[in-house]
Structure 1
């Protein structure tokens, strides 16, 4: 069976606005808390990275008490209720490097999307016609498993064979999860949330260059 490349969806191929953490950060700022975006994001994904199984929406369960502990805020019930009940609707768009990346990778490999996502992922994939370049979509909402659980990668391998490289934007979920499944991974850090990580990509074009250097293309 041919080798495959796996890729995340959110903030990797498709962008969401507001980003998933921004509504929470906005609520905290409304209450007078001054937290920089990077610090909040890193605290959030640290908490999310402790999950292995999906909630009812198909996403990583979020323990708000743990999140507030990580950002050094007393867990105020009023704020937590507002965060939990806030409308989380997001607009979305296709990143300009997404199709070029998929086209190039598809010339040599099978492609599988591995994403922690709600059922909306299937609508988005069809809307942007990503299914032209993708052999399989493995979504946490369908199988009840979330990254960084290595079982989500094992599940994907049933359909596409061995995965040589995983590309994703959250180190604690994508890179850690892939490594637990003994798969090489590269972080896509579009917003410079991981300045301490030296080997990473800013765009999907950088990922293609990385693959060329590694002799994968």
Structure 2
């Protein structure tokens, strides 16, 4: 297989939030008198992300009105807290969510991001980003000192579709002039990244940093971006 382009998801693949979302949730919960351990919140996010991606496939979040978005994030928060061991009402979940999003946070690259991107560029590969984030990626990449490694970005706002809809992947292929068989897509979400890429005929690679996906057997699974060298060698 002659790979020419490696697509990446952005959030939770190349970058993470700082402070971590678990810390933010813990702080928000504490303002309502709850002491929730960050390890349990990590488990909660695992289940919350499943809900997030399934709902986003059913009805893209970016296309919902403010009322529907509020309902969505209330349920998202409730699921996170429930699986972290805290069973709260919808109203309380909504209030905790509103408190959490007030807490400042920023994107920072994972420790293995730059090393991986440098390696891929040294192999003559082009690098693209396919993300559901709705913001100017060029400014963000420059701020994070990643712009020198990324050849192009596709975000859901400009395309009008969100992963796992195959049309966002197909748009990237057409825009960059490559075939699906010439590409890999690396992401941390099984539903939006792996299933979305497969629907578009692109070979997916699941980045499973916390080893949540023990049962996945329909794609390559890596636990660090440093493992991309081995993935390419095995193609």
Q: Where in structure 2 are there 5+ consecutive unaligned residues?
A: none
Give TM-score, length-normalised by structure 2: 0.74
CA root-mean-square deviation: 3.0
Q: Where in structure 1 are there 5+ consecutive unaligned residues?
A: none
Cα pair distance change 1:32/1:22, threshold 3 Å: closer
- Given that 1:166 and 1:183 are in contact with CA atoms closer than 8 Å, whether structure 2 keeps it comes out as yes
- Given that 1:175 and 1:187 are in contact with CA atoms closer than 8 Å, whether structure 2 keeps it comes out as yes
Task: Give the counterpart of 2:200 among 164, 176, 181.
Answer: 181
Give TM-score, length-normalised by structure 1: 0.79
Q: Is residue 45 of structure 1 aligned with residue 55 of structure 2?
A: no
Size of the aligned set, in residue pairs, is 210
Cα pair distance change 1:173/1:22, threshold 3 Å: farther
Cα pair distance change 1:27/1:65, threshold 3 Å: same
- Which is greater in Rg? 2
Higher helix share: 2
User: 1:158-197, aligned counterparts within 5 Å?
Assistant: 158-160=174-176, 161-163=178-180, 164-197=183-216
Q: Is residue 16 of structure 1 aligned with residue 33 of structure 2?
A: no
The CA deviation string for residues 22-66 of structure 1, in whole angstroms up to 9 with x for no partner, is 534654575366782343122111111121434279xxx544336
Q: Is residue 87 of structure 1 aligned with residue 97 of structure 2?
A: no
Secondary structure (helix, strand or coil) at the match of 2:221 reads coil
Q: Tell me: higher relative CO, structure 1 or 2? Use CA pairs within 8 A at least 6 residues apart.
A: 1
Q: Is residue 31 of structure 1 aligned with residue 46 of structure 2?
A: no
